[in-house]
Structure 1
Amino acid sequence: MRLTGRRMLLFAALLLFLAGYLVVRFDAPDMPAAVSVLFLLGLALPSYVAVIRWLGAARGITLLVLLSLLPLAVEAYAVATGIPYGRFTYSPHLGYPLFDLVPWTVAFAYLPMLLGAVTLASTAVGTAWYRLIPAGALFLLLIDLVIDPAAVHAGLWVWMDGGVYYGVPASNFAGWVLTGVVYVALVLLIAGRNLSSGRPAPGMVASSLLLILAFWAGYLTQNGLVIPSFLGAALFLATCLVIFRDAPFRR
């Protein structure tokens, strides 16, 4: 990844921050659902391309498909039963709900955050499974402490029983840690030697997370959600450092 490409990524992040801060209003009644759908797909694409460049087509596509469909199934089960996250429902703005439970776009919303968490964790603690798996789950928890309050404030999903952290219950965060351990372990398993040889994931695998954090940090700042906005800014800076490190792709 040349420096010009990194600068373009930072420029896109700046635009997304400004959009979240100045432009985007989720309470607009005439906002078509297609806007949210295209937005989620566009944010996911940079990390998807980076994963395939990193792992090759076969393993890269396997990882993308498995870790898109599995979280989608878990989310559907959670909406139906309240396990493992708690009782909640999704807004229709996120796209057509599969089985009247979960929008199909969730398949593209979660994976970029998982990939970013694995990249940050592998840089911070190395690639040994006994360090990477808990660290990856911890980074996922930190990311959700940013994303969930923003999405609840925006009305993208609603927690039936509320919660002490900006309306989000503690059960949700426990569920993110539990599922995060499983998902990070699956990434490690599929990536194989690319992630078990001691070299962290390439920084650009976290490129979608950078864009997601930039957008929601702008939205959180505009709406005065202080704790998640500061945490989002800290994670954004950490992701920038990882992306700008000298870590070329290896096949």
Structure 2
Amino acid sequence: MKQLVIAERVCLIGHIVSMVFGLVGILLVVPHPELIMSLSEVGQTAMQWSMAGGGVVYMILGTAAVALYAYRTLGLRLWLAFMLPAIFISLTSELLGTSTGFPFGHYTYLSGLGYKIAGLVPFTIPLSWFYLGCASYLLARAGLEVDKKPSLLRHAGAVALGALLLTSWDFVLDPAMSQTALPFWYWHQPGAFFGMPYQNFVGWLGTGCVFMTVAALLWRNTPIHLQGWQLNLPLIVYLSNFAFATVMSLAAGFSIPVLLGLLLGTTPAVLLWWKAQTTSTPAALESTTKEMQAAQVRVALK
């Protein structure tokens, strides 16, 4: 288990470092290619690597970090019961979107995000749906205490709130990533929301709701025992990816999407994490007290 924790943390740190390299490359090197010539040989190699495969690496590392975390904290069955629907349902939505325009609108992926499945969707895209979706759903589920007080309303609330957190990240990311100096996709018919069609966000919310609902049904009422501190990784993953999108959007001059994401994404995410921290503490203390009492009884019997 210790080895899994170490691997998980290494992947998380690598995920964040890769995003930083990506920001430097997109915002500094691409607009000012002469800067790379002023770097040392090692620096030039690092920036060339970042520009060539940084987008692929950061999504793979993010996926690995969340997958290891989910396996370690939830177990194999629950991890796969979330990851497989998230990947395959989001891939189906993306393939439909890039070929028919439903449910996101008409768009096309460019290069920079890895091999394209069916020549349409980079293989890294459904991975990003998984790791951001899992982080969002776990924060919502824990914050709403679904596993302590199970009910249909709480389950539905966790799905809706998890999908909203996921979509709020896209409010900030999508406008910048499609209009940066090095765009990763483009819209055939730009929309009213900073170049994005409103349909795109309806598609994001709907796709997130579908695969989170499938995962919730597969999990049923299996209790998810996550103490408050065990939600640190989902929160770090969510906030670090939001920070990446925020820097991209602000650099492009898009402040309103950032404000909207802060209101509907990061603020609820932090509040849900904080609520899970405060509500898990009494249970954790009670569990510790019982263990200490049991240990004292065993000593007395000896």
TM-score by length of 1: 0.79
Deviations 1:116-141 (A, max 9, x none): 32133224544322322222232233
**Paired residue total:** 243
Q: Does residue 218 of structure 1 match 2:262?
A: no
2:259 partner letter: F
1:24 partner letter: G
Q: Which one of 53, 57, 65 corresponds to residue 46 of structure 1? A: 65
Identity of aligned residues (%): 24
Q: Does residue 145 of structure 1 match 2:171?
A: yes
Name whichever of 200-209 and 181-190 sits farther off.
Answer: 200-209
Listed as ranges, the matches of 1:61-210 within 5 Å are 61-127=80-146, 128-154=154-180, 155-194=183-222, 202-203=230-231, 204-210=233-239
The answer to whether the Cα contact below 8 Å between 2:136 and 2:166 also exists between their aligned partners in 1 is: yes
Larger Rg: 2
Superposition deviation, residue 187 in structure 1:
2.5
1:151 partner letter: M
Superposition deviation, residue 14 in structure 1:
8.2
Relative to structure 1, the CA distance from residue 18 to residue 70 in structure 2 (aligned partners, 3 Å threshold; closer, same or farther) is closer
SS in 2 for 1:89: strand
SS in 2 for 1:52: helix
Relative to structure 1, the CA distance from residue 160 to residue 136 in structure 2 (aligned partners, 3 Å threshold; closer, same or farther) is same
Superposition deviation, residue 48 in structure 1:
1.8
Give the distance between the partners of 2:244 and 2:72, measured in 1 at CA: 25
TM-score by length of 2: 0.67
Give the distance between the partners of 2:12 and 2:77, measured in 1 at CA: 30
Give the distance between the partners of 1:16 and 1:32, measured in 2 at CA: 11
Superposition deviation, residue 62 in structure 1:
3.7
Return 5+ residue gaps in structure 2 as ranges. Answer: 1-5, 34-47, 147-153, 285-302
User: Which structure exhibits the higher relative contact order, with contacts defined as CA atoms closer than 8 Å and separated by 6 or more residues?
Assistant: 1
Name whichever of 24-33 and 92-101 sits farther off.
Answer: 24-33
The answer to whether the Cα contact below 8 Å between 1:43 and 1:211 also exists between their aligned partners in 2 is: no
SS in 2 for 1:92: coil
The answer to whether the Cα contact below 8 Å between 1:162 and 1:168 also exists between their aligned partners in 2 is: yes
The answer to whether the Cα contact below 8 Å between 2:176 and 2:252 also exists between their aligned partners in 1 is: no
Give the distance between the partners of 1:168 and 1:87, measured in 2 at CA: 10
